[in-house]
Structure 1
Amino acid sequence: MTDLGYQPEQAAVRGLLLAVGEELGRPVPPEWKAAVTAVPRHHFLPDRVWLEDDDGALRACDSHIDPERWFQAAYENAPVVTQVNGGNDPDDEDDLWPSSSASSPTMVVRMLEDLDLRPGLDVLEIGTGTGWNAALLAHRLGPEYVASVEIDPAVARQARASLNAAALNVEVICGDGALGWSPGLPYDRIISTCAVRRVPKAWIEQTKPGGIIVTPWDSPMLGWCLLKLTIERGQTHGRFSPHSSFMLMRNQRTNLRIFRDVVRDGQRPGRSTTRLSPWLVGGNHWEARFALGLTLDDVWTTWEHEPDVPGVTTRLWVATTDAGSWAAVDHDGEQDDRFTVWQFGERRLWDEVEAAYAWWEANNRPGPARFGLTITEGGQQVWLDDPAEKNPFRHLKGALDVAELD
């Protein structure tokens, strides 16, 4: 990493801790304040990062070319993209997508707090990334109590070098995080810095009874929450909490496009109308989208603006991840209380969406904190308010067993 020792590092760290505390609504706990102070974030960023410009597009920022902007990004209370396009040079500068990043410091502290750490506990981290999170863990517990798995060889090498330079010689393993790391088991805690749609069985098997797993959660509809699980003999259970967004674990990702994978020539969709606004389903109503993601499990959405369809200004596409069923909801640019719906496939997908949304409203619009997850040998199951409520979605028409997540 570039040596920017001349920069006002201490002031930057103090400013970052104040920003994190403000977002948390309380001061950063002393043990994590000490770790953030002792392990400067900029020592773990690569010399080249990618930052959003005024139009929201990613643009490279190099510490050798623009050290002030690079250093400023290191101490903003925000995520920083540290790799694009899987580490490959893009053919087009405008065709960039983030493939690795440094998480928001507030989110880092939140997740570390959720681990409920104390000296002597062994921790496995899934997704080393820059190594900063592992460094904070190592400062708190000692490097010998921390192991970290990273799937990308280049990212793993960079993180290992940064950790060694900080004299925090955490064991960094290049491998598939979904498999955990069996040579070090059992662990008291597992923390994942990538989101999952299924909690890998290996994580549960490698965690001691009474141990804790903290991971971001994702559904095809929305990745937005954290999940904190407690391991018990025979079952694992925990609750969700809101406001997080992480990249999905690589082996759980799907790469679907409506006109490449879903909609095909010769399909004859049925036509109907709806009063449910597509913006309530595909817009910024995060709590509704989170609940729909849990309820429908395999459904995703995407917008098409100004489609080449007479009388249609905006269209919301809804499809299943197996590309077998889809729906399109059209807005004519004028009416906001009635929309045309097209549906194709074995499932009447928009009917399922309407039923799920009505269920969410009938249950007083529950937020993420009211939902939980139980994992047994039989699979994973979502519940609302009470773990004894094994299938809160059982009354939904056209959504049989939608709470079964495995």
Structure 2
Amino acid sequence: MTGAATPVPADTGGRAEFAALPRALFLPELIWPYDTATGTCAAVDRRTDPGRWRAAASADIPVVTQWDDGRHTGPEPGTVPTSSASMPSVVAGMLEAAAPVPGMRVLEIGTGTGWTAGLLARRLGAGAVTTVEVDDAVAAAARAALDAAGLRPRVVTGDGLAGVPDGAPYDRLISTVGVRDIPAAWPAQVRPGGLLVAPWGTHYSNADVLVVLTVAGDGTASGPFLRPLEFMKARSHRLVLPDFAGELRPVDDSATGVGLPLYGPWHPFTFAAGLLVPGVTHAVRPLDDGGRALWLYALDGAAWAVAERPAGAGVTRVRQAGKRRLWNELLAAHAWWTAVGRPGVERFGLTVTPGTRTAWLDSPAHPLGDPPLPAAS
């Protein structure tokens, strides 16, 4: 839904596409512009406030267009945003990374409003673009908007994680939904030498990083991460917290002078932590005295940890239980990240095969491994 800003393409063709096909053509009358400063949304209705609607439609901000998989009604924001129109700068950045040119065929995963498919159709021709959307109502609205704009790419209703095999092979596959794994169907439907562009991340946080994978003849896909951003997740890739129905024992209780390794969602270590401590998510909670607690949860429900640091205290209390010592693993990950020069996300990359996924630092010759670090003793 949100993302790190990338300029609208400086090339004449890119600017012409955005000018000729503004995002406003694809937005419904009721929208919820996202305020990046406050992290909140407020409804804007074109029928009652056309000026604010036009301003929001043309601004470089994400705009929510659906809540709660379509179950939500009314002007108040719903619980979970489930479809949106991305920031124009983010759309521009993804198109720049994919670099589609006339003569190529493109598959888009996640039609949404239809705007990205429309931009691609203007550049490549409607017959060269296939887009797939899991939600019937969202797909229908996108078809109507595209038709009104005089553009008719192929719009398929279905599970985008399966791709659209009857149109393969594609020269480019562009995902506009965030994923936590690269489905095997995606590289299988891209021709050798083609590119797969997607917002990819771990469950450690909700943030994504744009990855550009080049598909090889053997079905392997490999490439670098480019920049942080955030997209709504594919439905089956949404975070589901573990159910600790039975209390894990024993609980180790200790104290340490080490502070909490807390960083914001866009910080490189937050991304690295997800790579280095696999299968784990985290949450930060305030303490009554103004301090903070860092919770770590293994997604399989087999371990948890909490580290509490009261305000002004020089000691962190750590409790952890289960098959893994998640606090120790996180400290080991932080030590590794520091030792290799505190790399940004752009130094990491990803290689996927039909049965494996390997993250690496600087080149595929330097894999992080699985698991990449042993738990600290």
Given the two structures, how large is their TM-score scaled by the length of structure 2?
A: 0.91
1:282 touches 1:301 (CA, 8 Å); kept in 2?
no
In the other structure, the counterpart of 1:360 is 337
Which of 304, 321, 344 is residue 326 of structure 1 equivalent to? 304
Identify which of 105, 113, 134 aligns with 1:151. Answer: 134
1:225 matches 2:209 = yes
Aligned match of 1:16: none
Per the TM alignment, residue 166 of structure 1 is displaced from its structure 2 partner at its CA by 0.4
Deviations 1:120-153 (A, max 9, x none): 1000000000000000000100111001000011
Residues 183-240 of structure 1: CA distance to partner in whole angstroms, max 9, x if unpaired? Answer: 1111111000011111011111110001000000121113231000001122211010
Structure 2 distance, partners of 1:92, 1:161, is: 23
Partner Cα separation in structure 2 for residue 175 and residue 217 of structure 1: 21
1:265 Cα offset (Å):
5.1
Measure, in 2, the Cα distance between the counterparts of 1:353 and 1:92.
Answer: 42
Q: Is the 8 A contact 2:8 2:88 kept in 1?
A: no
The alignment status of 1:29 with 2:11, answered yes or no, reads yes
User: Does residue 258 of structure 2 align to residue 273 of structure 1?
Assistant: no
Aligned-residue CA RMSD (Å): 2.5
SS in 2 for 1:243: strand
Residue 92 of structure 2 corresponds to which residue in structure 1?
109
Q: Which one-letter code corresponds to 1:318 in the other structure?
A: L
Aligned to 2:349: 372
Residue ranges of structure 1 left out of the alignment (5+ in a row): 1-19, 400-406
Q: How far, CA to CA, are the matches of 1:94 and 1:125 in structure 2? A: 28
Contact residue 149 and residue 173 of structure 1 kept, 8 A: yes
Give the distance between the partners of 2:211 and 2:92, measured in 1 at CA: 15
Tell me by how many angstroms 1:314 deviates.
Answer: 2.7
Q: Distance in 2 between matches of 1:91 and 1:339?
A: 46
Q: Which has the higher helix share?
A: 1
Identity %: 40
Q: Residues 395 and 44 from structure 1, CA distance in 2 versus in 1: closer, same or farther, beyond 3 angstroms?
A: closer
Question: 3-state SS of the aligned residue for 2:328?
Answer: helix
Quick check: 1:127 aligned with 2:110? yes
Partner of 1:196, secondary structure, is coil
| Partner residue in 1 for 2:55 | 72
Q: Say whether 1:301 aligns with 2:301.
A: no
Rate the CA distance shift 1:122–1:26 in 2: closer, same or farther, 3 A.
closer
Question: What does residue 244 of structure 1 align with?
Answer: 229
Q: Secondary structure at the match of 1:262?
A: coil
Q: Which moved more, 1:290-299 or 1:208-217?
A: 290-299
How many aligned residue pairs are there?
A: 371
Q: Does 1:42 align with 2:24?
A: yes
Contact 1:384/1:392 (8 A) holds in 2: no
Amino acid at match of 2:217: R
Q: In the alignment, which residue of structure 2 is the partner of 1:58? A: 41
Residues 360 and 347 of structure 1: CA distance in aligned 2, closer, same or farther (over 3 Å): same
**Letter in structure 2 aligned against 1:389:** H
Q: Normalized against structure 1, the TM-score is what?
A: 0.85
Kindly indicate whether structure 1 or structure 2 has the higher relative contact order, using CA contacts under 8 Å at least 6 residues apart. 2
Stretches of 4+ moved more than 6 A in 1? none
Q: Which amino acid counterpart does residue 208 of structure 2 have in structure 1?
A: W
Aligned match of 2:186: 203
Distance 1:395 1:89, change over 3 A: closer
Letter of the aligned partner of 1:148 in structure 2?
T
1:184–1:393 Cα change, 3 Å: closer
Residues 365, 197 of structure 1: alpha-carbon distance in 2 compared, 3 angstrom cutoff: same
Q: Deviations over 1:363-400 (max 9, x none)?
A: 0011111111112344111111121123357772228x
Q: In 1, are the aligned partners of 2:97 and 2:212 still within 8 Å (CA)? A: yes
User: Match of 1:316, as an amino acid?
Assistant: L
